[in-house]
Amino acid sequence: MKTGLKLCSERTPNHKRLIISLMSLPGLSREEEAERLVKAIKAVQDYCGCEEGEMERNRKARPCASYTSQGTVDVGKIAIERAKRVFTEEGRPTICFICLGNEALTVEKRVYRFSSPGDLTKHFKLSHLARFNKSTGEECRLCEEHLDTPTHMQRHAFDYHGTVSNSFK
């Protein structure tokens, strides 16, 4: 095993110290080994010119400086307007007209499409007819019509919005 180290004269002092510290033999005690490791770390820092520390956090992507907004488009309003057209274009829609008119809900819940008209019927019965407020009635916010009774609500749902919840003929 070689214990001597030949150094080239063309190296910088920091480079020489780095080579010596990295190629040195381990210490005989824990204290000597810890001291050798600290010297090696300092030699690497001096040679590389950087300090240890926290990683730089990723910054959030920002829009390009050349981008200028001509006007903001409210995607939620567009989605709601498209959902309202469903009631005139489809025979049996898959969007709940009560939820669509409820501005307290998120846009995703307002324009939610059920997988079938039967699923919409189940939702309408369980979520709206079962919780109908008999003392004050309910409001169809799409038609701006007051619905006095659950039967009135069912009739309105069928006649104006195509939502079937009973056998109205």
DSSP characters over 6-25: ---TTS-HHHHHHHHHHHSP
Give residue 35's domain range. 13-48
Say how many domains are in the chain. Answer: 2
141 and 81 within one domain = yes
Has residue 67 been placed in a domain? no
pLDDT digits (tens), the chain, 169 positions: 556 666 667 778 888 888 888 888 888 899 999 999 999 888 888 888 765 566 666 666 666 555 555 556 677 777 777 777 776 666 788 889 899 888 898 989 988 989 998 999 999 999 999 999 889 989 888 888 999 999 999 999 888 888 888 765 4
| C-alpha span between 18 and 20 (Å, rounded) | 6
154 and 105 within one domain = yes
Has residue 169 been placed in a domain? no
Model pTM?
0.52
| C-alpha span between 29 and 101 (Å, rounded) | 77
